[in-house]
Structure 1
């Protein structure tokens, strides 16, 4: 069963965005980019590395470089205890 994004974030997953720069199969001097995004666990990044292995095995365009960023969506400092409530009309 697929987990929701909120369930993944509560388990420690964060949003990982990777930019793959690769060479065009027919024109090796031409570079192109592909952006990949998924929820992944830092610092091992199993989903990112699985995708890179898939790319290297199945896609004709060889990778030139990969750069990525990771943002944990729910951090301990973002939670706070609410002690009061002020309802407005």
Structure 2
């Protein structure tokens, strides 16, 4: 049974977006890019590194660089003390 995205976010997962720059197999001086997204755990990023290992093992285009960003979609709510209330009309 696959875990839903909401359940993953509640378990601390966040959306990781990575942009892979790689050399074209037949034209080694040409760089191309590929964008990958998945829910992952920071700071270790096991799913991202699993995909990098898959790329190095299975894909012909050698990696040049990887740039990634991680964002938690659900975070603790902010609490503030409200001292007064204004009512208009």
Instruction: Please indicate the TM-score interval, normalised by the length of the shorter structure.
Output: 0.7 to 0.9
Please give the residue correspondences for 1:1-89 in structure 2 after superposition, counting only pairs within 5 Å: 1-77=1-77
- Structure 2 length normalisation: TM-score? 0.86
- What corresponds to 1:85 in structure 2? none
Provide the rounded CA distance (Å) in 2 between the counterparts of 1:78 and 1:66: 34
Structure 1: runs of 5 or more not aligned: 81-89
Provide the rounded CA distance (Å) in 2 between the counterparts of 1:34 and 1:67: 11
Structure 2: runs of 5 or more not aligned: 81-89
Q: Root-mean-square deviation (CA), in Å?
A: 1.4
Provide the rounded CA distance (Å) in 2 between the counterparts of 1:77 and 1:41: 20
| 1:78, distance to aligned residue in structure 2 (A) | 5.3
> 4+ runs of 1 displaced by more than 4 Å?
none
- What corresponds to 2:83 in structure 1? none
1:79–1:35 Cα change, 3 Å: farther
Query: Deviations for 1:21-61, whole angstroms, at most 9, x for unmatched residues?
Result: 00000000000000000000000000000000000000000
State the structure with more CA Rg.
Answer: 2
